[in-house]
């Protein structure tokens, strides 16, 4: 039975519905995932901080696709948020859990930066993700079908100056997803850690990163969402947005050369 579910490709209401939960589902890739999932008739539970974009995405998706959309406006860094999500989704038959929130919020050289701010990056990308994945993963295993998607980054392949904790947290997510995949696959639960490169999301635009540099490929969030959902069965780790060659390069043995090159590339992208 489990194998039969896993052979299916793409998103399917019978396997991945009737409800999907997206932690970070109001903007960028999260909003596009919400849209594509709802197009399959799957109801949504969306979490994000800013009530305005969250309500706008929820209203649009519900109106266009005729599904139910529930929202929780809250910060994943708040101590009570996991319990609130657990309580508010307790009565929903959840077939898909996506942890998308996680773009870097703080940049500084590690020994000069604010340790609390670095720890928040780790809390968002590691601790909160573990707590919610533990909760929804157990529910999916019991159910015997569904998917967990933990959104990753090319940054998780190489140490990055200025965002060293973010890159390390993304590396943690990737290796964690691999272990989870092998544990849950026999139980009919797909685990996918899609590797994103630079993607034109509102969070990136707010940071003011230069996305017009020659040779820089910038992905469209809608294309990324489409590819993630098409590749749910290609876990545990899958480069999306044409980043396979970059993943290969970033996994090379000459670490000193790689981290130095990446640091130069990051300097070029920084806001002027
Ligand atoms: N954009 C890129 O270039 C890029 C590249 C590689 C990997 N990624 C990965 O892609 C994912 C999405 O990134 P993104 O650029 O769209 O930015 P993001 O800041 O992670 O925002 C994505 C969604 O998460 C919500 N969110 C962010 N922080 C939250 C928090 N503390 N509590 C609750 N919700 C929160 C945002 O809404 P609110 O702001 O309203 O909370 C939004 O709906 C991340 O995991 C990131 O690491 C992005």
Kindly give the distance from the C-alpha atom of residue 203 to the centroid of ligand 1, in angstroms, as a whole number. 7
pLDDT at 272: 63
pLDDT at 1: 38
170-222 pLDDT tens trace: 999 999 999 999 999 999 999 999 999 999 999 988 888 777 777 788 999 99
Give φ, ψ of 70 to 5 degrees. -110, 150
Say which CATH number the domain at 157 has. Answer: 3.40.50.720
Atom of ligand 1 nearest to the CA of 125: 45
Is the minimum distance from the CB of 203 to ligand 1 under 6 angstroms?
yes
Is the minimum distance from the CB of 241 to ligand 1 under 6 angstroms?
no
Whole-model pTM: value is 0.95
Q: Which residue has the higher pLDDT, 114 or 269?
A: 114
Q: Which of 23, 25, 28 to mutate to test the pocket of ligand 1 (most atoms within 8 A of CB)?
A: 28
Rounded (10°) angle between helices 164-184 and 115-122: 20
Give φ, ψ of 150 to 5 degrees. -115, 110
Q: Which two tokens stand for residue 210?
A: 């230069």
Give φ, ψ of 115 to 5 degrees. -60, -35
Assign 99 to helix, strand or coil: strand
The residue range of the domain holding 239 is: 2-269
CA atoms within 13 A on the CB side of 158: 26
Kindly give the distance from the C-alpha atom of residue 101 to the centroid of ligand 1, in angstroms, as a whole number. 4
Kindly give the distance from the C-alpha atom of residue 205 to the centroid of ligand 1, in angstroms, as a whole number. 12
**Mean pLDDT, all residues of the chain:** 94
Is the minimum distance from the CB of 164 to ligand 1 under 6 angstroms?
no
Kindly give the distance from the C-alpha atom of residue 105 to the centroid of ligand 1, in angstroms, as a whole number. 9
DSSP state of 187: G
Query: How many structural domains is the chain composed of?
Result: 1
Q: Which of 95-99, 141-145, 211-215 has the lowest mean pLDDT?
A: 211-215
Question: How far is Cα 92 from Cα 106, in angstroms, rounded to an integer?
Answer: 35
Give φ, ψ of 194 to 5 degrees. -75, 135
Q: Are 68 and 89 in contact (CB under 8 A)?
A: no
106-117 pLDDT tens trace: 999 999 999 999
pLDDT at 9: 62
Q: Are 177 and 231 in contact (CB under 8 A)?
A: no
62-80 pLDDT tens trace: 999 999 999 999 999 999 9
């Amino acid at each position: 039975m489990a194998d039969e579910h896993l052979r299916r490709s793409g998103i399917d209401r019978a396997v991945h519905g009737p409800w999907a939960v997206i932690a970070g589902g109001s903007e960028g890739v999260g909003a596009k995932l919400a849209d594509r999932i709802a197009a399959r008739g799957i109801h949504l539970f969306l979490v994000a901080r800013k009530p305005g974009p969250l309500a706008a995405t929820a209203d649009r998706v519900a109106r266009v696709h005729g599904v139910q959309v529930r929202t929780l406006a809250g910060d994943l860094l708040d101590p009570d948020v996991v319990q609130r999500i657990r309580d508010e989704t307790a009565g929903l038959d959840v077939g898909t859990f996506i942890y998308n929130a996680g773009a870097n919020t703080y940049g500084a050289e590690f020994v000069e930066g604010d340790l609390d701010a670095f720890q928040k990056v780790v809390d968002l990308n590691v601790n909160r993700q573990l707590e919610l994945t533990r909760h929804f993963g157990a529910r999916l295993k019991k159910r015997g079908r569904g998917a967990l998607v933990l959104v990753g980054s090319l940054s998780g392949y190489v140490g990055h100056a200025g965002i060293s904790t973010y890159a390390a947290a993304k590396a943690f997510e990737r290796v964690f997803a691999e272990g989870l995949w092998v544990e849950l696959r026999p139980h009919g639960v797909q685990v996918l850690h899609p590797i994103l490169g630079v993607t034109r999301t509102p969070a990136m635009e707010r940071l003011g990163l230069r996305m017009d540099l020659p040779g820089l490929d910038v992905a469209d969030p809608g294309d990324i969402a489409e590819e993630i959902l098409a590749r749910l069965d290609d876990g545990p780790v899958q480069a999306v947005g044409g980043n396979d060659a970059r993943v290969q390069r970033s996994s090379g043995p000459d670490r000193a050369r790689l981290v130095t090159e990446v640091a130069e590339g990051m300097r070029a992208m920084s806001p002027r």
